[in-house]
């Protein structure tokens, strides 16, 4: 954001154009028009969109919350306006609206960038100053990189429950700057993804029922603190992603809900407006002013805070009329697609990519009926990445299972190889999987405590070696046993335990291994990245495959043992004659396992195994994973074709 964006210095012609564009869904910087702006003469101008209101006043500390400051309406666009000289910085204010039908209610400013702390929600007289950013090198590097073929390993964070002070208060972003950033850097993650930071009235919603779409929640600190946090991340080569919720919003009466007494932000049809599943209201995504509002919100976070990308929450709710639990009607074509939501998301991604081509646009979407990632011109929604919910559900179901039954359900860990490039995927082990009685990732694992840690290491290694980008929720990196609690800090005391501490160090080394090994991300978006060695060994429940880099000699062999039985003399096919060295073993003592040393190097033998003419034999630890790398090989074999990803 430029320093002028907080000031209302429009010419008459510019103001008319800004209002016209807002009403046609083309004003993507609507916060420069609406909300609160300081004028050059020290006065403040207030503007609010309330097209069906009968009267509107500005009320606040500066007029004792009385209806003395009346706003006037531009009837052509439904925007009310007042210019006042009495407010001073720090004063609180709202808009008192006589809604259609005569009801009078105080509403918050939808375009405010700063509110008082919840449960109160008055906006603050506040001017966001221009920041002189120092992260130019970070952004220059982003422009030169292809994020589809770069490592992307995300640490998902709920900012107010990552860590608490001794008195129980959560860390602010000033605190997180000094603690979270060094921790993420030490642990080897490439990005932090925050659950919604925008203003919301109830902590129990985790931020997914928003009110202030342009405001950092006052509970988390000031906008300047968050700007400084993002800058500090970039100086440490860490990206920052934000969750954002454009599909539905809070039902609170003093917020967006039926703002002017009519369906203003929500659908006119009450069945479409009501979101039963989340107890919220759905945006009317076909209304031009709503499109201007939402797209302006997203661009505001990219511009003002230099964040590197946005994860759009609950996309399925936006693109399917029958996603919710209530009654629904087909669209005019007779189908279940919410055409307004579909075209809005295409428009959103097109606008973002025009101005910020390097910004990551990520979708949380659980169906397979709509192409989410890819070019809009081909009918896709235009996102860069999609959470792979199918992989997540399948693998967690598999790892929760008693190993004696896993041979009967082996497709749960192999089926994703068949569709791994249908979209550009992120493999998420997210906050949704460690709440509401689902148990923590550690607690989901089968067996006694030792076996649970062994399987957690196995699971994380499978995620890291499976094609796709990665995401892990905070606390899972050391195997926190308790479910996540949004109003408490993580169980850092766990790290006094030797196994939890070893698990944390395992995750750190696995993250670094992922970044170091180009074969795990260099060809992440092409079928040649994966070559299945053996996906048919159900009886022993051992899965083996190869991840390829660009060079023929740059590849890794991954062998996962899904049972508590050590496999000695275990034989698999290999692509080339030569020597293979074990470079990673999840059962090393330093990780909490029992192995004191790695397997000896494997020398291939001329023996047929499926499509291979050479084999190696080694020991695969119980519930463990080993990764081998070619040490000395003779490249005489033509690489398996792209069909290898689906072969068995």
> Is 476 in contact with 434 (CB distance < 8 Å)?
yes
Backbone angles phi, psi at 165, to 5 degrees: -70, 170
Give the alpha-carbon dihedral of 189, 191, 195, 200, to 10 degrees: 140
Backbone angles phi, psi at 394, to 5 degrees: -65, -50
Cα gap 152→10, rounded to integer Å? 42
Cα gap 306→611, rounded to integer Å? 50
Cα gap 277→458, rounded to integer Å? 35
Distances (CA, A) of 521 to 148, 152, 318, 547: 8, 8, 31, 9
Q: Which residue has the tokens 């910004």?
A: 359
Q: With H, G, I as helix, E, B as strand and everything else as coil, classify residue 501.
A: helix
**Nearest CA among 87, 83, 88 for reference residue 72:** 83
Count of H helices and E strands in the chain?
Answer: 15, 31
Give the alpha-carbon dihedral of 262, 320, 155, 179, to 10 degrees: 0
User: Is 487 noted as a catalytic residue in this protein?
Assistant: no
Half-sphere exposure of residue 472: CA atoms within 13 angstroms, side-chain side: 30
Q: Which of 284, 364, 384, 522 is catalytic?
A: 364
Supply 533's token pair: 């060695």
> Is 172 in contact with 221 (CB distance < 8 Å)?
yes
Strands 123-124 and 92-98, by their bridges, are antiparallel
Cα gap 580→308, rounded to integer Å? 39
Q: Which of 8, 260, 284, 313 is catalytic?
A: 313
Three-state SS across 530-594?
A: EEEEECCCCCCCEEEEEEECCCCCCEEEEEEECCCCCEEEEEEEECCEEEEEEEEECCEHHHCCC
Cα gap 82→73, rounded to integer Å? 9
Radius of gyration of the chain (CA): 27
Strands 360-363 and 385-387, by their bridges, are parallel
**Nearest CA among 224, 201, 393, 192 for reference residue 308:** 192
Cα gap 598→580, rounded to integer Å? 12
User: Is 364 noted as a catalytic residue in this protein?
Assistant: yes
Cα gap 298→304, rounded to integer Å? 10
Supply 61's token pair: 């500390």
Cα gap 312→153, rounded to integer Å? 18
Supply 185's token pair: 């850097």
**Which residues have a catalytic role annotated?**
313, 364
């Amino acid at each position: 954001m430029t320093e002028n964006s907080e000031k209302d210095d429009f010419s008459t012609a510019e103001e008319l154009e800004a209002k016209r564009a807002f009403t046609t869904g083309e004003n993507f910087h609507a916060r420069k028009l609406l909300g609160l702006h300081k004028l050059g003469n020290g006065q403040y101008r207030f503007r609010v969109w309330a097209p069906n209101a009968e009267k509107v006043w500005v009320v606040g500390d500066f007029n004792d919350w009385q209806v003395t400051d009346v706003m006037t309406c531009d009837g052509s666009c439904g925007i009310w306006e007042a210019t006042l000289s009495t407010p001073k910085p720090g004063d609180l204010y709202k808009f008192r609206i006589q809604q259609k039908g005569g009801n009078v209610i105080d509403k918050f400013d939808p375009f405010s960038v700063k509110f008082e702390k919840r449960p109160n929600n008055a906006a603050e007289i506040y001017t966001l100053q221009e920041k002189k950013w120092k992260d130019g090198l970070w952004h220059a590097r982003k422009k030169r990189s292809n994020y589809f073929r770069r490592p992307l390993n995300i640490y998902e964070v709920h900012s107010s429950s990552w860590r608490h002070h001794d008195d129980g208060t959560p860390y602010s972003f000033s605190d997180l700057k000094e603690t979270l950033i060094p921790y993420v850097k030490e642990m080897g993650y490439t990005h932090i993804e925050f659950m919604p930071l925008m203003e919301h009235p109830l902590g129990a919603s985790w931020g997914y029922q928003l009110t202030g779409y342009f405001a950092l929640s006052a509970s988390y600190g000031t906008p300047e603190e968050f700007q400084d946090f993002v800058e500090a991340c970039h100086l440490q080569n860490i990206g920052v992603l934000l969750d954002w919720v454009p599909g539905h919003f809070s039902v609170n009466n003093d917020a967006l809900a039926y703002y002017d007494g009519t369906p203003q932000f929500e659908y006119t049809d009450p069945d479409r407006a009501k979101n039963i599943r989340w107890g919220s209201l759905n945006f009317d995504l076909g209304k031009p002013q709503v499109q201007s509002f939402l797209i302006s919100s997203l661009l505001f976070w990219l511009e003002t805070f230099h964040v590197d990308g946005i994860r759009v929450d609950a996309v399925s709710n936006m693109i399917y009329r029958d996603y919710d639990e209530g009654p629904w009607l087909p669209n005019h074509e007779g189908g279940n697609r919410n055409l307004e939501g579909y075209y809005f998301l295409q428009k959103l991604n097109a606008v973002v990519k025009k101005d910020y081509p390097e910004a990551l646009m990520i979708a949380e979407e659980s169906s397979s009926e709509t192409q989410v990632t890819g070019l809009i011109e081909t009918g896709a929604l235009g996102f860069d990445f999609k959470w792979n919910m199918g992989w997540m559900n399948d693998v967690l179901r598999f790892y929760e299972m008693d190993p004696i039954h896993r041979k009967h359900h082996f497709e749960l860990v192999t089926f994703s190889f068949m569709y791994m490039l249908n979209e550009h995927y992120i493999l998420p082990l997210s906050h949704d999987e460690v709440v509401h009685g689902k148990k923590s990732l550690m607690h989901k694992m089968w067996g006694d405590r030792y076996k649970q840690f062994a399987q957690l290491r196995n699971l994380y290694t499978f995620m890291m070696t499976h094609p796709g980008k990665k995401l892990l929720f905070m606390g899972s990196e050391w195997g926190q046993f308790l479910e996540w609690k949004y109003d408490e800090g993580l169980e850092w005391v766990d790290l006094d335990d030797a196994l939890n501490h070893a698990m944390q160090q395992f995750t750190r080394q696995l993250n670094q291994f992922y970044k170091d090994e180009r074969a795990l991300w260099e060809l992440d978006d092409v079928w040649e990245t994966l070559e299945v060695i053996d996906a048919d060994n159900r009886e022993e429940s051992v899965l083996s495959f190869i991840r390829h880099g660009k060079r023929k000699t740059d590849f890794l062999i991954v062998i996962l043992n899904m049972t508590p039985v050590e496999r000695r003399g275990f034989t698999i096919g290999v692509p080339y004659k030569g020597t293979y060295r074990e470079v990673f073993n999840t059962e090393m003592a330093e990780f909490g396992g029992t192995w004191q040393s790695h397997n000896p190097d494997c020398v291939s033998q001329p023996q047929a195994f499926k499509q291979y003419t050479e084999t190696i034999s080694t020991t695969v630890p119980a519930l463990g994973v080993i990764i081998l790398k070619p040490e000395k090989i003779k490249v005489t074999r033509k690489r398996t074709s792209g069909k290898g990803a689906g072969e068995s």
